[in-house]
Amino acid sequence: MPCYNAGETLDEAMQSLVDQTLHEFEIVAVDDGSEDSTSEKLAAWSRKDARVRVITIAHAGIIPALNIGMEACRSHLVARMDDDDVAHPERLERQVAYLEANPDVTVVGSLVEGFPRDGVREGFQIYIDWLNKLVDHDAITRDIFVESPLAHPSVAFRRRRVEALGGYQEFGWPEDYDLWLRLYLDGARFEKIPEILLYWREHPKRLTRTDSRYSVENFLRAKAMYLMQGPLRGRDAVIVWGAGQMGRRLSKHLVRAGAPLAAFVDIDPKKVGRTRRGAPIIPPEELKEWWGRFANPVVLAAVGARNARALIRENLCSRGFREGIDWWAVA
């Protein structure tokens, strides 16, 4: 659990951990150079409960704090927790039991609930609702290029598998999404316990609101790099469904990464017939014909409007395109 200036929320997070129904575990709290009451509160918790180990470092940011904490863990299983969230009393017991019963699973998450209820913004709630629909491996990996499909502080994972991939890494985009994508390309299995086991605090100081690594542009950079290493590897044509803002922005990073951009698909008659980045914009009716021009093409559905993904999925699947093979949702 990385901790930084969490004096206002730390006690609630810690109390939810020491109250777990699982008793044999340790809490590795990494104080990342806090300047408020965090250090004193962690020291008090370590005196109160022998399971609490505190590691104090000069302020380095979340990625070094996460790696230092993981290195210090003595168990082969690691559960993530943030200093401002609240764990369900049975969270650790349920996740440890699941991983022990399912040795093929690398990461197990859970459903989450945002709080305080009157402080959860609409966008955050929409994201939570989407997250909570992705429960099994197939659903999680189907949408892994849409957004980060697991709430980071909700997961438990096998430490050696994560360390074998280099732990958390700094690329200028979200460290958790980067880890999920690397694990996915390495063949890891993801699952969720279909119950709310984490209460995820919404507040203005959350890193996702204050750190530029969590910007849309940096998410797109991450997607482009790992798409090129995975679904786009060996393709001779990339057809982007969506010539609007999201398709334009993603295609910029794909082209920079060397993707063979062939065409855009769009339903807007005002866009059809024009070009984007030198590629024609075609209507959906012409997709099959364009598809047939190439030996190994792929379609990326990149429309960010609400409900657009479901409509595109229905359209493509009805035309015989296989999701996860012929096409991928990326927005």
CATH of segment(s) 2-214: 3.90.550.10
What per-residue confidence (pLDDT) applies to 90? Answer: 99
Under 8 Å between Cβ of 41 and 11: yes
Under 8 Å between Cβ of 38 and 108: no
Q: Give residue 60's pLDDT band: very low, low, confident or very high (50, 70, 90).
A: very high
Residue-wise pLDDT tens digits, 143-199: 999 999 999 999 999 999 999 999 999 999 999 999 999 999 999 999 999 999 999
- Rounded to the nearest angstrom, the gap between the alpha carbon of residue 62 and the centroid of all alpha carbons in its chain is 15
Q: Give residue 205's pLDDT band: very low, low, confident or very high (50, 70, 90).
A: confident
Q: Give residue 214's pLDDT band: very low, low, confident or very high (50, 70, 90).
A: confident
Q: What is the token pair recorded at 51?
A: 């399971």
Among 61, 266, 39, 56, residue whose Cα is nearest residue 168: 61
How far is it between the farthest Cα atoms of the chain? 70
Among 64, 66, 82, residue whose Cα is nearest residue 153: 82
What per-residue confidence (pLDDT) applies to 203? Answer: 82
- Domain range list for the chain: 2-214, 232-329
| Residue type (1 letter), 264 | F
Q: What is the token pair recorded at 305?
A: 């409007």
| Residue type (1 letter), 186 | D
How much is the average pLDDT of 100-116?
99
Residue-averaged pLDDT of the chain: 97
Q: How far apart are CA 268 and CA 244, in angstroms?
A: 9
Q: Give residue 80's pLDDT band: very low, low, confident or very high (50, 70, 90).
A: very high
Name the pTM for this structure.
0.96
Under 8 Å between Cβ of 77 and 26: no
For residue 142, CA distances in Å to 136, 230, 310, 315, 328 come to 10, 13, 13, 16, 8
Q: How far apart are CA 80 and CA 105, in angstroms?
A: 16
Phi-psi domain of 307 (left: phi exceeds 0; alpha: psi -120 through 50; beta: other): left
Fold (topology level) of 232-329:
Rossmann fold (3.40.50)
| Residue type (1 letter), 213 | R
Q: Which is it for strands 107-115 and 156-158: parallel, antiparallel or unpaired?
A: antiparallel
Whether residue 204 has pLDDT greater than 90: no
For 161, phi then psi, to 5°, come to -65, -40
